[in-house]
Amino acid sequence: QVQLVESGGGLVQAGGSLRLSCAASRSIFSFFAMGWYRQAPGKQRELVAAITSGGDTNYADSVKGRFTISRDNAKNTVYLQMNSLKPEDTAVYYCNANLLVDDYWGQGTQVTVSS
């Protein structure tokens, strides 16, 4: 079992920045990948960014150049630095841990970007 706790969400004006954190209950060193997803009202959950155990990253086209995912294995934490935020980034952001044989989700954190 893995518990994931997200933090760092909130209300920000367009053009502003936020940093989301996802703290895992145990070592993330061997996890295949960790990622951030988001779900806006009335829309499907979508991948925002992911990072593998080897440090390879993948981003949704809509956030490339604005968001950066990183991981600190010593702190069992994954971060999502979000810059130049837009109103369309408004959503609940979820942390995901992919262990290949299992998949875990956090409870989500709300990000609201005002215009």
Per-residue pLDDT tens digits for 43-70: 999 999 999 999 999 999 999 999 999 9
End-to-end C-alpha distance for the chain, whole angstroms:
40
Q: What is the pLDDT of residue 90?
A: 98
**Token pair recorded at residue 16:** 């502003």
> Cβ distance 7 to 20 under 8 Å?
yes
The β-bridge partners of 80 are 20, 69
Low-confidence ranges of the chain (pLDDT < 50): none
Q: What is the pLDDT of residue 105?
A: 97
**Distance of alpha carbon 6 from the chain centroid:** 8
Tell me which residue of 73, 77, 70, 64 sits closest to 23, measured CA to CA.
77
Q: What is the pLDDT of residue 30?
A: 85
What's the rounded Cα separation, in Å, for the pair 41 and 52?
28
User: Which run of H or E residues covers position 5?
Assistant: strand 4-7
What's the rounded Cα separation, in Å, for the pair 4 and 23?
6
